[in-house]
Amino acid sequence: MEKNLEILELPPAMRELVGECELTGRRTHFIRNGRAVATLVSHDEYLALRETVEIANDVPLRAQIAAAEEELERGALVPGEDLTGKRSAEDRLRATESVERTWQLLPDDRRKAVVEALTVIEEDPIIGAPLFEPLRGLWCYRRDGIRIIYRILAEARFVLILAIA
């Protein structure tokens, strides 16, 4: 069960803690008898933690990511235009061959949603949530019920799509 509180109704000191957390990512631990009982984290970090747990517990998706990582090592990549159907000015997207096979199985309405999501990722790769251990280095972006797992390869100047779920 969740509870929502209006931030403007909190005491000033608490609003300051929340603002600090939101802007800097700094966590605040609430303790009782020297033991942490709750931690204040930003909503973005909370979502990234939940996403990490969900993906880490999804055995088929983890297998898909592992296979995609092996394809990356072999250089088995396809240009993003093979998925989106259009060449972008940025040309920053690549996908593994297994992602392309998954793409082929998607119904047309889901493909449209994936293309929209990939366009957003290409324009702003850090739009997604950076994942935590054991998935550190991966990012996840959700849109319209689609989850896209990707890696930002800054040195190669492109975003590698590892999975579409």
72 and 27 part of one domain: no
35 and 83 part of one domain: no
Domain hosting residue 14, numbered range? 8-40
60 - beta bridge partners?
none
Long-range contacts of 81-89 (CB under 8 A, 24+ apart): 83/114, 83/115, 83/118, 83/161, 84/115, 84/118, 84/119, 85/115, 88/119, 88/122
- CATH number of the domain bearing residue 67: 3.30.2310.20
Residue 46 lies in a domain: no
pLDDT per residue as tens, the chain (165 positions): 889 999 999 999 999 999 999 999 899 999 999 999 999 999 999 999 999 999 999 999 999 999 999 999 998 998 888 777 777 666 789 999 999 999 889 898 898 899 999 989 988 999 999 999 999 999 999 998 899 999 998 877 889 999 999
- Cis, peptide link before residue 134, omega less than 30° from 0: yes
95 and 14 part of one domain: no
Residue 50 lies in a domain: no
109 and 35 part of one domain: no
**pLDDT computed for residue 88 by the predictor:** 65
70 and 133 part of one domain: yes
93 and 154 part of one domain: yes
Residue 45 lies in a domain: no
24 and 86 part of one domain: no
Q: How many domains does the chain have?
A: 2
